[in-house]
Amino acid sequence: MRVECQIEQIKNLSADVRQLVLKPSRSIPSFKAGQYLELILPDRKCAFSIASVPSDPLLHLHIKPTLDSEDSTIIETMLNDPPRLLSVEYPLGDCFLDHCPDRAVILIAASTGITQMRSMLGYLKEQDFAKDIFLYWGVLEEEDLYLHSELLTLAEQWQHFHYIPVVSDMTRSPSWQGKAGLVGNVVLADIDDLNTRSIYVSGSPVMVYATLDSFVAKGFNEKNVHSDVFSFAPR
């Protein structure tokens, strides 16, 4: 569904991530936690996961520049000189939560893939989900953990939530004391029986399929893993 939105806010979440907050101009059916939208520009559409929960009347997007990407260059130019209204198409995506799973959950995010997981987390918190949730957030360097404080606070307040940040390039983060390496490998090292969990993965197609393949090689049933990549970049 195409909807006109007012720009409510553009603010920096980190040195290279900005939050764009949109207010739909009319009431429409809500999205589901984990779904995404497309910003409709004059000659293209650009997809972004929605970071807010369905109960929030505003749509929160987290936008990070992508090197050598024409789409990213156009988006960044738009954010620097925003129009009064933006058109979006949503809700999109079939990797979402609209009920509480019947088993523990593992959320695996790479970079700004955390936005999809933030929406799912918020939904599960609102539903008083009483099973364990493990969020693994893989980034290149420590400075990329732009929601680190928010997620640490949530983990302190919610006994069922376990937050595990993972840094892959220790040369850029020599003082990092947490988990290091590829996020999928860290999950495999931490959790013995993945088949007792529902798993949701958000990242590039290369990252998602590499994670899936490493899990399957260890006996994981791929039917228990969910990602939008399987729909928009099937192999």
- Quick: pLDDT tens for 165-194: 999 999 999 999 999 999 999 999 999 889
Query: Looking at residue 232, what is its pLDDT?
Result: 87
pLDDT at position 16 is 95
Chain centroid, CA 206 distance in Å: 16
* Topology (CATH) of 2-92: Elongation Factor Tu (Ef-tu); domain 3 (2.40.30)
Residue 86: CB atoms within 10 A of its CB come to 17
If one looks up domain 104-232 in CATH, what number appears?
A: 3.40.50.80
Domain positions in the chain are: 2-92, 104-232
pLDDT in tens, 86-137: 999 999 999 999 999 999 999 999 999 999 999 999 999 999 999 999 999 9
* pLDDT on residue 70: 96
d(CA 160, CA 190): 17
- DSSP letters for 10-63: EEESSSS-EEEEEEESS------BT-EEEEEETTEEEEEE--S-TTSSSEEEEE
Q: Extract the tokens encoding 167.
A: 């840094």
Question: How much is the average pLDDT of 22-38?
Answer: 90
Residue 235 has pLDDT above 90, yes or no: no
With b for 16 or more beta-carbon neighbours within 10 A and e for fewer, the 50-65 pattern comes to bbbbbeeeebbbbbbe
Q: What is the rounded distance in angstroms from the CA atom of residue 47 to the CA atom of residue 68?
A: 17
* Long-range Cβ pairs for the range 166-169 (8 Å, 24+): 166/136, 166/137, 166/138, 166/139, 167/138, 167/139, 167/140, 167/141, 167/142, 168/138, 168/139, 168/140, 169/140, 169/141
Residue 30 pLDDT greater than 90, yes or no: no
Q: In what order do the strands lie in the sheet with 104-110?
A: 179-180, 161-167, 133-139, 104-110, 197-202, 225-226
- Report, as an integer, the average pLDDT of 188-209: 94
The better pLDDT of the pair 125, 30 is held by 125
Q: 91-100: string of b/e by CB count within 10 Å (b at 16+)?
A: bbbebbbeee
Whether the pLDDT of residue 27 is over 80: the answer is: no
Please give the average per-residue pLDDT across 71-94, as a whole number. Answer: 95
3-state SS, residue 78: helix
Most confident of 20-34, 105-119, 209-223: 105-119
Query: Three-state SS for 201?
Result: strand
Q: Is the pTM of this model over 0.75?
A: yes
- By the 8 A CB rule, do 175 and 141 touch? no
pLDDT for residue 234 is more than 90:
no
